[in-house]
Amino acid sequence: MTAIGIHDIEVATGHHVVNLTELAEARGVDPNKYIKGLGQDEFSFPAPDEDVVTMGATAAHRLLERTGAEGIRTLLFATETGVDQSKSTAVFVHKLLDLPGEVRSIELKQACYSGTGALQAALGIIARNPGERVLVISSDIARYELDSPGEPTQGAGAVAMLVSADPALVEIEPASGVFSEDVDDFWRPNDSSTAVVDGGLSITAYLKSVEKAWKDLEQHGGPSISDVAAFVYHQPFTKMARKAQAHLAAFTGTELNDGALDTGSVYNRRMGNSYTASLYSALTSLLHHEDGLTGKRVGLVSYGSGSVAEILTGIVRADDATRRGFRDRVLGMLDSRVRLSVPEYEGMHEKAMPSAEDTETAAVTKSPFRFAGVRGRARHYERA
- Catalytic positions are 80, 112, 234
Residues 6+ apart with CB under 8 A from 259: 290
Put the strands of the sheet holding 338-339 in their side by side order.
Answer: 42-45, 16-19, 338-339
Dihedrals phi, psi of 272, to nearest 5 degrees? 85, -165
Beta strands in the chain (DSSP E): 4-13, 16-19, 42-45, 72-78, 104-108, 133-142, 155-165, 170-180, 186-187, 196-197, 230-233, 297-304, 308-316, 338-339, 359-360, 369-375, 378-383
d(CA 328, CA 145): 33
Q: Cβ-count burial of 53 within 10 angstroms (0-12 exposed, 13-18 middle, 19+ buried)? A: buried
Beta bridge partners of 240: none
| Radius of gyration over every alpha carbon of the chain, rounded to an integer in angstroms | 19
Return the closest-CA partner of residue 153 out of 262, 23, 282, 334: 23
Report the interhelical angle of 114-128 vs 278-289 (nearest 10°): 70
Return the closest-CA partner of residue 178 out of 5, 311, 276, 298: 311
d(CA 169, CA 332): 22
H or E element, residue 95: helix 89-96
Report the interhelical angle of 52-67 vs 89-96 (nearest 10°): 50
